[in-house]
A and B are shown apart, each in its own frame.
Chain A
């Protein structure tokens, strides 16, 4: 029994390898997306769709989702489902704010990670050592974390410029970094030219859009963002190219076989869950230190769950999770910065769906083609007859997208085989 994707997936052969997304295909697809976005930007005359500000915001909004998703990958690759990511992120926000307020931003990061890992430790003790159902323990941790954060706020922040639901302002900041020459960063005290900014302001087809994208990714970068982005390849290298990573994954793929080969399965699971909680806590610290400058109750806003969605979307792989987090972050950024760009995005979705329908028709896949064409036509009509898209619809976009992906492509998803299954030393598969 596995807890995501198909129940039958797993022990048998991995899903069809025929059309796996290799690097060339991904680049091709990405190129098409960039060109199409540029076209839509010019047709609808909404600069917000591809401005460097939007891309920058998308990156900032994607970071906590990505961290949570990476956390989910570490836990679930060792076979422990982690619904408690949200709660661990809440602990990260609280301890991040408290540490940042008391000792400075770097301590906020450290304590945020520690806070998340503490929640993870409880999860690991309950699920790995005591064999409690992983979903049950995760739910309990979410409830407990919200309570702990509330209580600690009352104790620590009341009368100090904060209260039961929020902390005092965290004034200490982490260093930021702007790339010289590309985005006009400083080089030894000399202000370099902002080449990409100049290109972006020309509003040329494609050139300006691509420049804006790179400028958004190189301007005012938080050090945490840089760390998070490097975590993506590092996670891949660690889990798929090191001995410890292989052992951790073996605990999720077949713990009994791993045990028989001398892998300490419990330890592997503990390591996976603790890293998971640490990353969720870091996501919380990022929300406090980079996004808000303050701890507020409900600040995580379900990002732990979106991270879980991004992990599934990305097929339990770091690169896939990064792509999904980027997508969700982009939708969020548009919603935040320019509602009319969201409306333009509907046109983008319509054209994409129609193109997909055409591709399916070319490959003679009748059902897929008709569904895609019908949805595309629907989106086109929607774009034609409305002026704006309600904010709530953007809020639910990641969730609907995940449900659709699960419903349509669950055969292609390949989760760890014994993810979510309680493993007891010496007992056989139940």
Chain B
């Protein structure tokens, strides 16, 4: 028993070493530009623990969390959906346009917009899935290409078909605004900052993903395909069907990444919509070790760092230092994870050998 706990404690090394390295390297970077790391961290903590920072952290974390879930589902079966970025962009654009085109009673309107987003995200992801299953095109290559195609296609659709007619000299390129029935007010305000209510939907989504992956037959097949594809195939799992289904689910979740901002802030798709969330989602999924709870924690950490860094500019320190911090966190987590995985593996092998040896000894002891 104690040995198993010892092995589990090894996993703690991953976040700890990442945190130590991130703080260490950020400090070196800060020192290199003659800034005091202690002062910087102190003011970040002071600013980051205010009430409005709390709300802001969560608002920033929610899209990251959803993006992390979308990526993690693929990762669970060794499917690299690098295309979350493109799926998210094209889905948000079309969902915003569809939501603005009609008016429905409030809950239906929200559900309709979310459904459109999920359907578009899934459809865009299905291209990569079909190419992989039918033509053997690896999903990393196809989703990278599809990301760029989504950017170009989205810009084309927005500029030519989905754009709100310009009023006067207004230059904003955006879809028409969604009617109030298709918006979500804040749950509450903390320190003057809205706490957006999409948080609740995101939490439900996280629970749903957990149940799907760890408590259903489908999730079992999915994890089995990831850990040992050959064994899964032999036990009757159709790998092609798994690829298609997983990719569709991943794309559908990717279609929801922009919803928090859409319902709670922008109410239309504009060129100001955050980009790069799909790639941040990869980072969050990696740091969160592909588990919903881990992803939530990672998203909160990233959200907090983003928010708390805003103060640095006032201290005369370029806040861009945190992008390096985040990069270091990602790299050190993946490296530490790989090292610990090997350690755990060899520890488990040793434990199994030990157990077998004891069994053999007992067997020999019985006749005597």
B239-255 CB mask vs A (1 if < 8 Å, else 0) is 00000000000000000
Determine if A236 is an interface residue (Cβ-Cβ < 8 Å).
no
State whether A83 and B140 are in contact (beta carbons under 8 Å apart), knowing that A136-B334, A151-B318, A390-B160 are contacts in the complex: yes
**Binding site secondary structure of chain A:** helix
* Pick from B141, B323, B342: contact of A150, CB under 8 Å: B323
Q: Smallest CB-CB separation from A422: which chain B residue?
A: B338
Residues of B contacting A6 in the complex (Cβ-Cβ under 8 angstroms): 136
CB-nearest residue of chain B to A309: B145
B136 near A139 with CB under 8 A, answer no
Mark interface residues in B104-128 (1 if CB within 8 Å of A CB, else 0).
0000000000000000000000000
Residues of B within 8 A of A158 (CB): 318
Residues of chain A within 8 A (CB-CB) of B16 are none
**Contact present for B131 and A308 (CB under 8 Å):** no
B136 A5 Cβ-Cβ under 8 A = yes
Contact call B320/A4, Cβ cutoff below 8 A: no
User: What residues on A are CB-neighbors of B323 within 8 Å?
Assistant: 143, 146-148, 150-151
Query: CA A178 – CA B29 in complex, angstroms?
Result: 45
A396 beta carbon closer than 8 Å to chain B: yes
Give B317's nearest chain A residue, CB to CB.
A154
A148 touches B327 (CB 8 A): yes
Pair B148/A305 contact, Cβ less than 8 Å: yes
In chain B, residues 316-354, which have Cβ atoms closer than 8 Å to a Cβ of chain A? 318, 320-321, 323-324, 326-328, 330-331, 334-335, 338-339, 342
Which segment of A26-34, A338-346, A358-366, A400-408 sits at the interface?
Answer: A400-408
Residues of A within 8 A of B136 (CB): 5-9, 410
Q: Closest chain B residue to A158 by CB distance? A: B318
Interchain CB contact under 8 A, A130 and B330: no
For residue A148, which residue of chain B has the nearest CB? Answer: B324
CB-contact partner of A407 in B137, B152, B321, under 8 A: B137
Say whether A312 contacts B141, CB under 8 Å.
yes
Whether the Cβ atoms of A4 and B138 lie closer than 8 Å is yes
Q: Which of B29, B82, B140 has the most C-beta atoms of chain A within 10 angstroms of its own C-beta? A: B140
Residues of A within 8 A of B214 (CB): none
> Which interface class (under 10, 10 to 19, 20 to 34, 35 or more) fits B?
35 or more
Decide if A395 touches B327 in the complex (CB within 8 Å).
no
Q: Of the candidates A83, A131, A406, A407, which one forms a contact with B338 in the assembled complex, judged by CB atoms under 8 Å apart?
A: A131
A225 within 8 A of B: no
Q: In the complex, which residues of chain A have a beta carbon less than 8 angstroms from the beta carbon of B82?
A: 83, 135, 139
B-chain residues with CB within 8 Å of residue A395 when the two chains form the complex: 148, 151-152
Are A144's CB and B338's CB within 8 A?
no
Say yes or no: A126 contacts B334, CB within 8 Å: yes
Q: Say whether A392 contacts B156, CB under 8 Å.
A: yes
Interface segment, B1-9, B90-98, B200-208, B278-286? B278-286
Q: Across the interface, which residues of B come within 8 angstroms of A143, CB to CB?
A: 279-280, 283, 323, 326-327, 330
A155 near B324: Cβ-Cβ < 8 Å? no
> Is there contact, CB below 8 Å, between B80 and A406?
no
Let me know if A250 is at the binding interface, CB within 8 A: no
Residues on B with beta carbons closer than 8 Å to the beta carbon of A141: 331
Q: Are B156 and A393 in contact, CB atoms less than 8 angstroms apart?
A: yes
Q: Which residues of A have CB within 8 Å of B318?
A: 151, 154-155, 158, 164
Q: Which of B141, B321, B324, B334 contacts A406 (CB 8 A)?
A: B141
Is the beta-carbon distance between B145 and A142 smaller than 8 angstroms? no
Give every chain B residue within 8 A of A7 (Cβ-Cβ): 136, 138
A137 close to B331 (CB less than 8 A): yes
**CB under 8 Å from chain A, chain B span 286-331:** 286, 318, 320-321, 323-324, 326-328, 330-331
Q: A132-B338, A154-B318 are in contact. Are A3 and B140 (CB under 8 A)?
A: yes
Contact of B334 among A81, A137, A146, A396 (CB under 8 A): A137
Kindly list chain A residues whose C-beta atoms are within 8 Å of the C-beta of B327: 140, 143-144, 147-148
For B156, list chain A residues within 8 Å (CB).
390, 392-393
Q: A130-B339, A151-B321 are in contact. Are A403 and B131 (CB under 8 A)?
A: yes
Q: Flag A110-134 by CB within 8 Å of B: 1 or 0 each.
A: 0000000000001000100011110
Q: How far is the CA of A219 from the CA of B320 in the complex (A)?
A: 42
Those of B27-67 within 8 Å (CB) of chain A: 29, 33
Question: Is residue B155 contacting chain A, with contact meaning CB distance below 8 A?
Answer: yes
CB of A83, distance to nearest CB on chain B (Å): 7
* Interface flag for B17 (CB, 8 Å): no
User: B231 at the A/B interface (Cβ < 8 Å)?
Assistant: no
Tell me if B142 counts as interface (CB < 8 A to partner A).
yes
Decide if A3 touches B138 in the complex (CB within 8 Å): yes
A-B interface, 7 closest residue pairs, ranked by CB to CB distance from nearest? A147-B323, A144-B327, A154-B318, A392-B156, A6-B136, A396-B152, A399-B145
19 other A-B residue contacts (CB within 8 Å) besides A83-B144, A155-B33, A403-B131: A3-B138, A4-B141, A8-B136, A131-B338, A139-B82, A139-B282, A140-B330, A143-B326, A143-B330, A147-B327, A148-B327, A151-B29, A155-B318, A392-B155, A395-B148, A399-B145, A400-B149, A402-B141, A402-B145
Measured CB to CB, the residues of B under 8 A from A are 29, 33, 80, 82, 131, 135-138, 140-142, 144-149, 151-153, 155-156, 159-160, 279-280, 282-283, 286, 318, 320-321, 323-324, 326-328, 330-331, 334-335, 338-339, 342
Residues on A facing B (Cβ under 8 Å):
2-9, 81, 83, 122, 126, 130-133, 135-137, 139-144, 146-148, 150-151, 153-155, 158, 164, 302, 305, 308-309, 312, 390, 392-393, 395-396, 399-400, 402-403, 406-407, 410
